[in-house]
Chains A and B, each alone.
Chain A
Amino acid sequence: MDAGLIAIILGVGPAFAAYYLTAIGHGLFEKSGILNLAIDGVFTVGVAVAYVAALFAGTAVAGSVAALVVAVAFGLLIAYLATKLPISHGAIGLSIMFVGYGLAALIAVPIRSQINAVVSYPMNVGVDVAFIIFSIVIGVLVHYMLSRTKLGAAIRAAGENPHAASSLGVNVLRVRLIAGMLGYALIGLGASFYFLAYTPAPYSEGMGMGQGWIAFAISLSAGRHPILTILSALVFAELLYNKFVLQGYLGLSVHITKMIPYLAALVAMVIFMVTPLKRKLAPPRALGKIYFKEERTV
């Protein structure tokens, strides 16, 4: 294989890491039963924070850490609100999404207007491979945690039926806070990789907006399963990363190449809904349902 082709294939590394980590973070959080509509807003904040922090610290790692910390704060807030108060998850999620969009601009735009520089991760094939390996290792750990540990069982229990989970001995609030923390740590990390490794360009307002939704679709099309998400994230990342190649080689219109990832998501969802995977990959039963424990009477 010639070096160019290898570069094209492996070059997807940063994009893959960004989408994959965000998607498994999203899946992990939703497994606990909270509808995660805030993802795109927090992703956008993550991009802004990563940009600013990396710039001031002079190292990209600082950007990732800062994005992770800020995202975790959001995750805890969402988990707390959605579990402790009888408010619709949709309302919480969408409100926080818009807060995120605004906050991102507030943080990054003033800096951008004063300093015209970007600190990013180094770009070469070695780094690309490192991103792929790092994110897959994280994915495997998340899968192990969800499927093999008591914490994982508690997260799934809270997502299936929080009332029953509580009577089985789960502290639903605590478990959802943990899920919010872990899930959003990955989302923050993913957002930082998106900016600092995949598309390091001078910051512009709204950067990263919409990418959270793509991660949402990646997670959904793999039924929130961390291992299957490797596949869906790879397909999405390749299609997005190589969209210009597709245009060039196949002569497709840009609108069509942009559509392809979503068509792929649709096909994936149809495939697992008509096969025995349906039960395995079913959404958590209590996803998005208000948890209010005093409601049954007499």
Chain B
Amino acid sequence: MQGEVTVLVKDLVKRFPGVLALDHVRFELRKGEIHALLGENGAGKTTFVKILYGVYVPDSGEIYINGKRVIFTSPIDAIRHGISLVSQIPQLIGSLTISENIILGLEKFGMMASIRKVENYIREESEEVGIKVDPNTEVWKLSYTQKQLVELLRAVMLGAKVLMLDEAITFLPIREKRKFYKFMRKFASQGGSVILITHKIPEALEVADRISVLRRGRYVGTVETRTASIDDVRKMMFGERSAQITYERLPTSTPDEKVVLDVKDLWVMGDYGAFSVKGVKLQVRAGEVLGIAGVAGNGQLELVQAIMGLRKVSKGRIAILANGDLKDVTNKGTGKVRSLGTGYIPDEPLKFGVSMENNIEENLAMLPAIAKGIIKWRQVRGLANRLINEFKVVTPSSKTPVKLLSGGNIMKVLVARELSIAKKLLVAYNPTRALDEVTAVMVRKIIKEKVLKERLAVLLVSEDLDEIFQVSDTIAVMNSGRIVKTFPAEKAEREQVEKLMVM
């Protein structure tokens, strides 16, 4: 079965205003293989799969499916050829039910077909993918993981022969990831092919048969995972910059006595009417990174939102250092918390961290810590350009709407902004999740440097244990809404932390 070429791409070129996104890219996908597509942020991976899915029309180049040349002008063309795409952000429509979302792509149902007809069909097929859902549920009620599973179900029901996963499993909890891996393997063994976009090299090496790398819109090469090492792939992705990647612990900082964030007996309600945070007590001191490790969904999100004044505190107290004293900010609102010198990197950064329609300068100026009342645009532009250079944001200019940047570059804008305004405290939720390795390590180093030199206090919540171990001075493990244990990072053992996370 191996060897037959399903998708062949030659000399693909795509230009966007001010950017050459793909520069004569070639690519080959064989039948029955899982093919990982790697590249740093803004390398053109997403553009590439969007062209294969008919979302964008290429400027030039050729695409062959099973040896026949095709031209796609809309996703429905791609679907007809058995190509399906699952993105990082679910492309489902929230106000529609699962059945309605799925029926839209099923051509065997005519325009006047009743939606009820698809329901039984969905019930049968969902066993295949391993999800239990009522097809009548409106999609907004589903969790992120469920939405991604529905996307997968949809791809299967569309009769996909080529499944493209664009960072689709990056945000999933580890157990669900394993399920996806298994599913992908089965799909491939039945004659399907998978294009897996990821920025995690170990994941690619573990799951894929071959790896192709894009760099700044150019095709770098393809390797077999059997023979490739992590360093080979890193060199392909980053060139000489791959030397900057490290997972060694960054220098430990000795915290001051001064407490910057003090949380006492905190109780916070989750979205479904039950307590998600159950009596959390924690302190972050100046010059300290407190890393909170935990499996997603154990109350970390609600804790962070409560601290930032974005979610109501039912009981307990949150205090932040102001003029030498701890000031009570419980239920005082985000404005108050931020005015005390707090930076915040939220979960779902594209939704809650930036305004997509506005440009980089405007995204800086909207924070009172950067511009008050009358905006001095010259000053804002200076800051914007400084941050663009420092974080190597790939953008035509500081006046480019952020929606035109790649996901990783939007994240860089956000992280750069929040680090520049965090005077005393930084609250971060998965700050490097969407970033490539080089940038992620750079962000962690910048955070740590601010902690060491400017005595910043950092509350870092991350689902990535590598990150927790690399940056934290103190590690707390959160499980079922409680902090179950706190260690000095130097004494923490990975195995023990992992055990406490899933206990």
Contact = CB atoms under 8 A, between A and B. Distances in A.
Interface of A: 145, 148-151, 153-154, 156-157, 160-161, 163-171, 178, 279, 282, 285, 293-298
Nearest to A157: B93
B403 A295 contact: yes
Nearest to B404: A297
Given A150-B110, A150-B115, A169 B16 contact: no
Nearest to B41: A298
Given A153-B104, A167-B55, A296 B116 contact: no
A170 B44 CA distance: 25
Contacts of A296: 403-404
A154 B103 CA distance: 9
Nearest to A162: B93
29 contacts: A148-B114, A148-B115, A150-B113, A151-B111, A151-B112, A153-B104, A156-B96, A157-B100, A157-B101, A157-B104, A160-B95, A166-B74, A166-B75, A167-B87, A169-B79, A169-B104, A169-B106, A169-B107, A171-B76, A285-B95, A293-B55, A295-B403, A296-B404, A297-B16, A297-B19, A297-B21, A297-B404, A298-B47, A298-B404
B7 interface: no
Contact of A298 (B76, B91, B406): B406
A118 to B, nearest CB: 39
B233 interface: no
B112 A149 contact: yes
Contacts of B92: 164, 168
Given A153-B96, A164-B91, A294-B56, A169 B17 contact: no
Contact of A154 (B19, B53, B104): B104
Contacts of A145: 112
B320 interface: no
Contacts of B112: 145, 149-151
Given A150-B113, A168-B75, 14 more contacts: A148-B114, A150-B111, A150-B112, A153-B101, A154-B104, A163-B91, A167-B75, A167-B91, A169-B76, A171-B76, A293-B56, A297-B404, A298-B19, A298-B44
Contacts of B109: 150
Contacts of B100: 153, 156-157
A298 B19 CA distance: 8
Nearest to B216: A298
A170 B104 contact: yes
Given A149-B112, A297-B47, A164 B93 contact: yes
Interface string B17-38: 1010100000000000000000
A178 B111 CA distance: 11
Contacts of A163: 91
B85 interface: yes
B405 interface: yes
B68 to A, nearest CB: 21
B448 to A, nearest CB: 29
A25 to B, nearest CB: 19
Contact of B104 (A165, A178, A295, A297): A165
B103 A150 contact: yes
Nearest to A166: B75
Contact of B111 (A154, A169, A285): A154
Nearest to B90: A164
Contact of A160 (B16, B85, B87, B96): B96
